[in-house]
Amino acid sequence: MHDLKLNKVIYKTEGKLARIVLNRPEALNAFSPELVAELDAVSQLVENDRDIRVVAISGEGRAFSAGIDLKALSRGEIDYPYLVQWERFLHRLETMDKVVVCLLHGYWIGGGMQLPLACDIRVATPSAITGIPAALEGLIPSLGPWRLARFVGAGRARKLTLLGNRINSTEAGEMGLVDHFVSDENPKEEFEEVLKQYLATTGTAALASKQLMCRAFDPSFTDAFKYYMELQGKVMESDDLKEAQKAFKENREPVWK
């Protein structure tokens, strides 16, 4: 049991398994400040639970996540504390001594791609759509490009980030972004079978191996995060962000000057 009051996240444990469910289906699980704060708190709870070996992350409703909450962005609610909390949550996922497995369906776009990039294993339906469109929204996509390049190489990461193209999970799998596929018809049931595999094999040695792999990236994370926050500060004060917010409200494409 836990004492957290959760409105946007469903959290429960089953033996060695922890389940985290994004629970804003009416907004395609877009990352609002409240959702990010709850994810940050829940991930800390998971990290400190020595009984947990595997963490399953999924989204309620029609999508894993459509990314940043653009309505919150247009209201000026996406601020420095939000960005710090978001990256703290992601870094905790990728460094905790648990195997983190996510199920991707519907859309996993923007922040909905960034979160899976911080997971160990990505499971997706073939038709699910992904992409990293933050540049079109007037923002740097957090450390998404930094993580993405580690999976797909610098060239593909640049193309996906600069153009904001959307691709399906089949294409993402060809790039190395998807580790297991489940059917569009029965994703949840088949996801359970994948989880069973990791629950059966994730012992002390496997978790220590994850820690060893994480160690290679830890020093560069600190530098990358510092530089990212400097750049994002400039971007958030730019006219381009104002134009992106105005374009969103007017339901049109932004025009950069």
pLDDT at 217 over 90: no
One-letter amino acid at 72 equals A
Which pLDDT tens digit goes with each residue over 169-194? 999 999 999 999 999 999 999 999 99
This prediction has a pTM of 0.86
> If you search the block for the tokens 């963490």, which residue do you land on?
55
Q: Are 50 and 42 in contact (CB under 8 A)?
A: no
What percentage of the chain exceeds 70 in pLDDT? 95
The torsion of the CA quartet 46, 49, 50, 54, rounded to 10 degrees, works out to -30
| Architecture of domain 1-183+206-257 in this structure | Alpha-Beta Complex (3.90)
Q: Residue 67 pLDDT > 80, yes or no?
A: yes
- Residue 87 in this model has a pLDDT that exceeds 70: yes
Question: Strands (DSSP E) along 117-216, which ranges?
Answer: 121-124, 129-131, 166-168, 180-181
Q: How confident is the model at residue 16 (pLDDT cuts 50, 70, 90)?
A: very high
The mean pLDDT value for 57-62 works out to 98
What is the pLDDT averaged over residues 74-93? 91
Average pLDDT on 29-52 reads 97
Position 76 scores a pLDDT of 84
Tokens (6 digits) for 208: 């220590």
